[in-house]
Amino acid sequence: MCAEVPSAVAIKDARVVTVSGADLHKATVLLRNGLIEDVGPNLTIPADAWVIDGSSLIVYPGFIDGLSTWGIPELAAPPPAASRTAASTPAAPTPTPGTQAPRAHGPEDRPHTYSYERAADMIKPTDRRLETVRSAGFTGSATFPNRGIIAGLGAMVNLAGDRGSDMVVAQPIGEQIILRTAGFRAGFPNSLMGVLAYVRQVYLDAEQYKQAKLVYASRVSGQERPGYDHYLEGLAEAPRILLPASEAQQIDRMISFSAELKQPTVLYGLHEAFKRIGEIKQSNLPVLVSLKWPEKPREANPADVPSLRDLELRANAPTVPGLLAKAGVKFALYSDTMDQPADLKKAIKKAIDAGLSRADAIRALTLSTAEIYGLSDRLGSVDKGKIANLVVMNGEAFEEKTTVEYVFVDGKLFKPSKEAPAAAPSGSPQRPASESHSDDADGARDSAIGGRN
């Protein structure tokens, strides 16, 4: 059963949290062809628009996950964390049975390097997580591949679409580096020091490769052409790198490493950043804070006594977003393998309870994420001309009783399913007076009434 696709959708008389500016009270947001056509009070609603009564609703920009694998179905199953550091750094995927990677003997073998792989080529609308996270208000994700040490080129994706290619907003948005060690039997690099040395060497090779191509291009005749290296081509395409920095010592190391690599850098993890706020601010690097707060393992022996450091980390990690906001550090939040709405909401609320303002929390999930990836011209706020990614709630975001009523992705409307049937809210969409009603259309519009042309 399909609803008639409307030419436009108007959310009328709602409170609009633009994020880019002041909140608008009793304003209308007009969507057309997947874009925000206009927003403001006293807008004239076109006759062809379907209208949502927003008098009891609040419109926010759609939330954006700062770092995930959402949209890549084969990466849907989260691996178990092996240690405190691994809690914010995904573990290596399990190898396919019967396969064995060739043993690497040095950096020239490019071990565990997938710098050329593109998330944009892996995105599929069949990922079961998409519907789940949309019901939490997420409409976009900075999605990255996740294997090896240099994991591949990420893409900013919308969390709905008929095809994977329809979901890609921009690519590549960065190259993620994961400090994985495979052990001594796997060959080089088999230690943290070896991994860092390898990454350093790869970027030295990339710079040499770049210079060799420039020299050759300046005078082709009589010169031997440089060989093609798709590993280094992938590195060259990335506008920034993502470096893991969860623990205080790791934060120090990655700030220095970023300066050495001379690459625009985003740090991710940051659970122990409460010890390094000044250093992070001085580095002027943007950061992504994991929402997977450290906590006592569920399978822990009740007789085990946690260390003082573990207790300190569990108590202080949720304060990090608030401390970063007060220090003026550019930061965003990411799900870190969580995909259940209740878990995501609880994690965000925990940061708010620990000192992060609601406004800063919303910004960290919307405009700040877009700014970090250089996409604030099209995502992250409720402004005219931007992509129509919105979440409409019946109360303040992250409050216990607040629910998501509508989610728009590329202007297409999704109504999250509720656990129990409920009476239609006052914000139920209505057809323009000039159109006739039908029971079939009324039922179908709950699932999707908009779309890109």
* pLDDT 10s digits, 229-254: 999 999 999 999 999 999 999 999 99
Q: Looking at the domain that runs over 64-94+102-298+305-372, which CATH code has it been given?
A: 3.20.20.140
Read off the pLDDT of residues 391-426 as tens digits, 9 standing for 90 and up: 999 999 999 999 999 999 999 999 987 653 334 344
DSSP state, 355? T
- 140/291 Cα distance (integer angstroms): 16
In the chain, which segments carry CATH 2.30.40.10? 8-62+384-444
**Residue 423: φ, ψ to 5°:** -65, 150
Alpha carbon of 285 to those of 174, 254, 278, 307: distances in Å?
14, 10, 12, 31
What pLDDT sits at residue 82?
36
- On the question of pLDDT at 158 being above 90, the answer is yes
* pTM for this predicted structure: 0.86
Q: Are strands 155-158 and 168-170 parallel, antiparallel or unpaired?
A: antiparallel
For 131-145, the pLDDT digits (tens) are 999 999 999 999 999
Residue 431 pLDDT more than 60?
Answer: no
Question: So what's the pLDDT on residue 447?
Answer: 37
Segment 21-69, tens digit of pLDDT: 999 999 999 999 999 999 999 899 999 999 999 999 999 999 999 999 9
CATH architecture observed for domain 8-62+384-444: Roll (2.30)
Tokens standing for residue 200:
């350093």
Tokens of 150: 């240099």
Q: What is the mean pLDDT of residues 72-94?
A: 54
DSSP E strands in 115-209: the ranges are 138-143, 150-153, 155-158, 168-170, 175-177
